[in-house]
Structure 1
Amino acid sequence: MSRNILIINTGGTLSSVMKESGLAPGLSTQDMKRELHVVSGDINFEIEDFMAVDSANIFPEDWSKLAEHIGKLRNDYDGIVVIHGTDTLAYTSSMLSFMLQNINIPVVITGSQLSITNPIADAMENLRCAIHMAASGRAGVFVAFNRKVMLGCRASKVRSLSFDAFESINYPNVAEISSLGMNIDDSTIPVRNGVFHLENNYSTEVCMLKMFPGIHRSLVESIAAQGYKGLYIEAFGIGGMPFLKHDFISTIEKVIADGMTVVVGTQCRYEGSKMDVYETGKRALESGVLQAQDMTSEAALTKLMWILGKTSNPSEIKDYFSLNIAGELKNY
């Protein structure tokens, strides 16, 4: 039985052309149709332009609109592919993982490091992978890149120029393509636990801060004074923060007492945080921070935005953040 796939173009390098100001999205869906027939095989597809922007110009309201659009079309197609710029692709795939609760079809986000117009580009292979994953019948939100498929909330861009730009962080690949074809590991795909429902509310009153030696607590005070409701901190090592000299942790405790939600993860790409080992982490936990565990920074930040769009109750926020919603978190 032939599968029907919708391809949604949002722009990015894959659909870019050279302009006077540099590479910028410029190819329409009609320009790409002929090339796409080469990689789609016997899969039927339709393609539409949703927007045409560099992914640096993707904002949370675009995530919400895209999630709503996918939600409306989910019963009209067997799968959906989203063409997206690589720079913020992992943020989009993470947020869609939370917004598209129990999605009943595959939603596969992909992009490329070179435009589809370039004869040596990675665009065609990435689209081939994405289209065939979208036709697989495996429900969920995924990222397809460099002949592998990753869970949407586990993907992260780890290389700026290489075709192997994305990796699945602290989680196995969902699928890989080799000379044997596409091998899908069904054990890596979270089980749907209910009917689909769109949850595309979010909060933009969230900030991210990376720790560095000498960081001053006044930065946190300034963030709180500007009205931010949530803060995600990439801390040292397995989650350490200073409490000598500039007593960073006591300031964190104060802003939490005043109503801010503070989540702490690690700057390290792999293996996650474990804040109950050292004093610098234990003190932070005692101050009331939530721990990101093995989540990517993209997933932790977007999850915080998503949760604060649902509730302002500290107890509910804590419960939601500790819950493994889309495969972003191990079951600790």
Structure 2
Amino acid sequence: MKRILIVNTGGTFGMVEGPLGLEPSGELEARIMDLVEEATDFNFSVLDLAPLIDSSDLAVTDWSRILSAIADNRNEYGAFLIIHGTDTLAYTSSMLSFALRGFDKPVAVTGSQYPLGTEGSDAETNLVDSLHFLTRRELPGVSVCFGGKLLQGNRVRKVDAQGLEAFACPNGLIKSAAVSVESASALFENLPTFKPGSVATLLIYPGIPASQVDALLADSRLEAIILLSFGSGNIPMQSSDLAEGLKRAANKGVLLVNMTQCQRGRVVQGTYATGSLLVELGALDGFDMTPEAAFAKLHYLLATGDKKAAETQWSQPLCGEF
């Protein structure tokens, strides 16, 4: 039977009650064996990735720890399951899809809305579903297994704060172009070193001032801003001085990415006059990517090449993200 490594990063799945509320807890393998009746049907081990985190505390440097755990164990296991908190799960599943392009083994990401062993918890079902999937799956790729659904890792979003079907792909699934499967040793020779602070997201709202952009530009690490614009890619032109702030960003060489803040649909730059400035400034089209996938892709591109290369590769679908 295929050996599966469960990498426990933390999150609600394995939390226990602490003095201030739910908090991460280790020794997950023993708890699974004690609480999950079907656990003996599978061949798995659990790696608690210390320090465990609440996913709200996820930093891009934590992505390197997850990738290293997979790299260090790639020859011993046939599949990998990442246990992750739901709040930032879609960011991590997106990152894995980019960083593990060409990896010849399947990877799944799951978590739960309620802790393992508590009344009404979805943790056991999500775990067992994920293990069933990975045991039978031979094709590589990164998936999210949650709420009885199998979802594309870089198209998924958290759409429900409490419901058990917490994740969906609002813009549907995409069959990615064929990616050559590399030897694991070659793939992991140079793991990306993610750069904190290099990517920021700015939600566009009515009357947003240029000072919001200037606040981001004050961080010298900044290399790209994801603009969550209105509708088909529009920003205020008459009611605020936002345009001046965006011009300053472009003049500093900061990459601008135009993405819709709508759950569904895509940016169509230049459809309206209020979106024309972004075209003039050379803003990159966000297509129908999720904000999480855009954030992860920019970090991946900036970690594996320079800003110019990132700008060039942005419009190329790497693994079905748009």
Q: What TM-score, normalized to structure 1?
A: 0.88
Residue equivalent to 1:73: 73
2:109 alignment partner AA: I
Residue equivalent to 2:101: 101
* Mapped pair 1:325 → 2:321: no
DSSP 3-state at the match of 1:309: helix
Cα distance between partner residues in 2 of 1:41 and 1:171:
35
* Aligned pairs, number: 313
For the structure 1 residues 126 and 285, does the alpha-carbon distance in structure 2 shift closer, same or farther, using more than 3 Å as the test? same
CA drift of 1:113 comes to 0.6
Cα distance between partner residues in 1 of 2:181 and 2:26:
39
Residue equivalent to 1:140: 141
Cα distance between partner residues in 2 of 1:202 and 1:292:
21
- The question of whether the paired residues in 2 share the 8 Å contact of 1:15 and 1:25 is answered with yes
Cα distance between partner residues in 1 of 2:36 and 2:3:
13
- The question of whether the paired residues in 2 share the 8 Å contact of 1:106 and 1:133 is answered with no
* Mapped pair 1:243 → 2:237: yes
- The question of whether the paired residues in 1 share the 8 Å contact of 2:13 and 2:111 is answered with yes
Q: Deviations over 1:210-267 (max 9, x none)?
A: 0110100122123113222111111111110122242423432332122111111011
CA drift of 1:74 comes to 2.2
Residue equivalent to 1:3: 2
Cα distance between partner residues in 1 of 2:127 and 2:254:
41
Unmatched 5+ residue regions in structure 1?
173-186
- The question of whether the paired residues in 1 share the 8 Å contact of 2:154 and 2:320 is answered with yes
2:129 alignment partner AA: C
Residue equivalent to 1:176: none
Cα distance between partner residues in 2 of 1:328 and 1:298:
10
Work out the percentage of aligned pairs sharing the same amino acid. 33
Cα distance between partner residues in 1 of 2:113 and 2:239:
45
2:6 alignment partner AA: I
CA drift of 1:66 comes to 0.9
> What pairs up with 1:46-195 in 2 under 5 angstroms?
46-51=45-50, 52-135=52-135, 136-172=137-173, 188=175, 191-195=178-182
Residue equivalent to 1:175: none
Unmatched 5+ residue regions in structure 2?
none
Residue equivalent to 1:223: 216
Residue equivalent to 1:303: 297
Cα distance between partner residues in 1 of 2:179 and 2:304:
21
Pick from 191, 199, 210: which aligns with 2:203?
210
Cα distance between partner residues in 1 of 2:302 and 2:227:
16
Query: Which of 252-261 and 77-86 deviates more?
Result: 252-261
Pick from 238, 250, 261: which aligns with 1:256?
250
Cα distance between partner residues in 1 of 2:150 and 2:35:
19
DSSP 3-state at the match of 1:61: helix
Cα distance between partner residues in 1 of 2:42 and 2:251:
55
Cα distance between partner residues in 2 of 1:72 and 1:189:
27
CA drift of 1:42 comes to 3.7
Cα distance between partner residues in 2 of 1:36 and 1:68:
29
For the structure 1 residues 275 and 36, does the alpha-carbon distance in structure 2 shift closer, same or farther, using more than 3 Å as the test? farther
CA drift of 1:299 comes to 0.6
1:86 alignment partner AA: T
Q: What TM-score, normalized to structure 2?
A: 0.91
> What pairs up with 1:260-275 in 2 under 5 angstroms?
260-275=254-269
For the structure 1 residues 250 and 97, does the alpha-carbon distance in structure 2 shift closer, same or farther, using more than 3 Å as the test? same
- The question of whether the paired residues in 1 share the 8 Å contact of 2:207 and 2:239 is answered with no
Q: Deviations over 1:278-325 (max 9, x none)?
A: 1122321121111111110111112112222233343x2222111111
RMSD: 1.9
CA drift of 1:165 comes to 0.6
- The question of whether the paired residues in 2 share the 8 Å contact of 1:158 and 1:165 is answered with yes
* Mapped pair 1:200 → 2:199: no
Cα distance between partner residues in 2 of 1:257 and 1:119:
55
Query: Which of 214-223 and 197-206 deviates more?
Result: 197-206
Query: Which of 155-164 and 254-263 deviates more?
Result: 254-263
